[in-house]
A and B are shown apart, each in its own frame.
Chain A
Amino acid sequence: MPTTYSELYFPVLVQVLFAAVVAASLIGAGLFFGKRNRNSAKDSPYESGMKPVGSARERFSVKFYLVAMLFILFDIEAVFLYPWAVVYRELGIFGFIEMVLFMILVLSGFYFVWKKGALDWTLNPQRKAKDS
């Protein structure tokens, strides 16, 4: 039976290394056996047969950044819930009330972003008129 943390986690590292080796050797086999016949048309990015216009490194919707930021908040909340969930029977009603308080705080923030429209992905014309 493994006793230390490094002994416990070593098989996970080995698994990851095996995966990397297998993936790299598959790519290697593809490079070795695959044919090579390059030309500039083939090297251009795919745009349904049209000549590519501009670059793909453009600005994109700020919505995606918002989702990422909200994700960090809520994922951290979920991670905070895990240790509580492990011991919540021992903590009993005290731990439960503390957790409910924590959730109320997070949920009030959630209510705020919801009403602010951060979770809306359709443009509501009425709302737009009111905001501007």
Chain B
Amino acid sequence: MTFETLLPYLMAAIFAMAFPLVTGYLVLVERKILADFQARLGPMRVGPHGLLQPIADALKLILKEDTVPKDADKFLFYLAPLLSVVTAFGSFAVIPISATLRIADLNIGLLLISALAAVGVFGIILGGWSSNSNYSLLGALRGAAQLISYEVALGLSLVTVVMLSGTLSMQGIVEAQFNQRIWFLFGNYGLMLLSFFIFLIAAVAEVNRAPFDLPEAESEIVAGYHTEYSGFRWALYMLAEYTNIFIICAVAATVFFGGWLRPFANIEWLAYPMDAIFPAALLFLSAWGCARMKLFPFTALLGISGLVFLIPAVATALSAPFWFFLKVSAVFYVLIWFRASWPRLRYDQLMDLGWKRLIPLALGALLANAIIGML
């Protein structure tokens, strides 16, 4: 066994074990950014600037009672959150983080992600139905109908990407963007922008985020499909939700923003500025920000990692993951921005948008891209 053959399994293990913690911090980042949008501070009590909040939340959840409602279908009630988590984590396997850092480079990567997203609907509908609560049932039905409605538009908008790349492999899509010297966002003389906007709207609906968070609309149906869940079983639903958000951001970054490629990947002389100077500058900026917030250990950490990035060998090794995660974070920020900006849709508006607007528009974008691409 060489290191190369072990690497996928090592990455799988790291993903599976680290993501509960990463999810906690994604929640904290979201709360902080939302707070910033609303001109308040967000969590500040646990640790400096609330940095230990996720750990406190996890400890609290572990000590909570795990209740099962009377007349619930016990087997399905236990199975449903597991199903959600497993399908969400399975999609990780095909996301490339750099040329070599990936769990599996399947030739049907994009299809695997849509397939697992479709199976993920079962986690929601089984959880809601088995709880034997009216709110859960309503949330589950809404969730299932919404997910499958927007999956069609999502799939149709991704077809245009496949037309440009000529492959379904995620790694192949990134390489195609390198070979064609363009991010697919700007492909086909800008027509792909239309596909991207359809993808973005459908993606927000796919991960049940505001303004499409009807399955969990707390002002109407309490908490939707996970009303009856408590303790870590509830936390598994949150874990699955944030994992799905990460996956959809990673897919957007990979198929539209060039994945782990640095910007202007074909221009040789930009290699050092983009691989080393930009990340270092960003890290120094964060270090300065931490210094202003009096988080001096983080200032030291970020400053040192910024200096490390200036070493050419390290920069070439780390720039691909750096750009990948930077793009994912940018898309994640946009999703939070949506949540801070727009009120929730009404249910009939949601279904109208999905079926009567997005699907015809996606088909039109598909045909237009096909015609332009053949010229």
Contacts and interface: CB of A to CB of B under 8 A. Distances in A.
B122 to A, nearest CB: 12
A55 B71 contact: yes
A34 B215 CA distance: 28
B352 A121 contact: yes
B305 to A, nearest CB: 28
Given A44-B69, A57-B132, A24 B167 contact: no
A11 B351 contact: no
B274 interface: no
A123 B172 CA distance: 48
B227 A46 contact: yes
Interface stretch (B28-36, B78-86, B256-264, B289-297): B78-86
Given A19-B88, A29-B62, 11 more contacts: A12-B104, A23-B236, A26-B20, A43-B67, A56-B129, A68-B148, A74-B152, A78-B159, A85-B163, A86-B166, A86-B167
**A70, A100, A121 pick with most chain B CB within 10 angstroms:** A121
A101 interface: no
Contacts of B62: 29-30, 33-34
A30 B90 contact: no
Nearest to B107: A8
B236 A26 contact: yes
Contact of B89 (A16, A29, A34, A36): A16
Contacts of A110: 359-360
A110 B67 CA distance: 45
Ordered nearest first, which 5 A-B pairs have the shortest CB separation?
A: A30-B232, A19-B89, A121-B348, A45-B133, A18-B16
A99 B222 CA distance: 45
Given A26-B235, A47-B133, A15 B12 contact: yes
A19 B116 CA distance: 14
B133 A11 contact: no
Interface in A17-61: 18-24, 26-27, 29-31, 33-38, 40, 42-48, 52, 55-58, 60-61
Contact of A35 (B65, B133, B228, B352): B65
B141 A60 contact: yes
Given A27-B236, A96-B374, A35 B104 contact: no
22 contacts: A15-B16, A15-B103, A16-B86, A16-B90, A16-B93, A23-B82, A27-B233, A33-B63, A35-B63, A40-B70, A45-B136, A46-B227, A47-B135, A48-B222, A56-B136, A63-B145, A64-B144, A75-B152, A78-B159, A88-B370, A89-B374, A121-B352
B344 interface: no
A18 B67 contact: no
A18 B13 contact: yes
Contacts of A18: 12-13, 15-17, 89
B197 interface: no
A75 B155 contact: yes
Given A43-B69, A56-B136, A119 B356 contact: yes
A38 to B, nearest CB: 8
Interface in B62-118: 62-72, 81-82, 85-86, 88-90, 92-94, 103-106, 111-112, 118
Contacts of A31: 66
B326 interface: no
B201 to A, nearest CB: 16
Interface of A: 8-9, 11-12, 14-16, 18-24, 26-27, 29-31, 33-38, 40, 42-48, 52, 55-58, 60-61, 63-64, 67-68, 70-71, 74-75, 78-79, 81-82, 85-89, 92-93, 96, 99-100, 103, 107, 110, 114, 119-122
B37 interface: no
Contacts of A24: 82
Contacts of B210: none
B177 interface: no
A111 B231 CA distance: 47
A42 B363 CA distance: 50
Contact of B162 (A85, A96, A107): A85
B185 to A, nearest CB: 18
B149 A71 contact: yes
A67 B89 contact: no
A47 B70 CA distance: 13
**B61, B68, B129 pick with most chain A CB within 10 angstroms:** B61
Contacts of A85: 159-160, 162-163
B65 A86 contact: no
B347 interface: yes
Contacts of B13: 18
Nearest to A75: B152
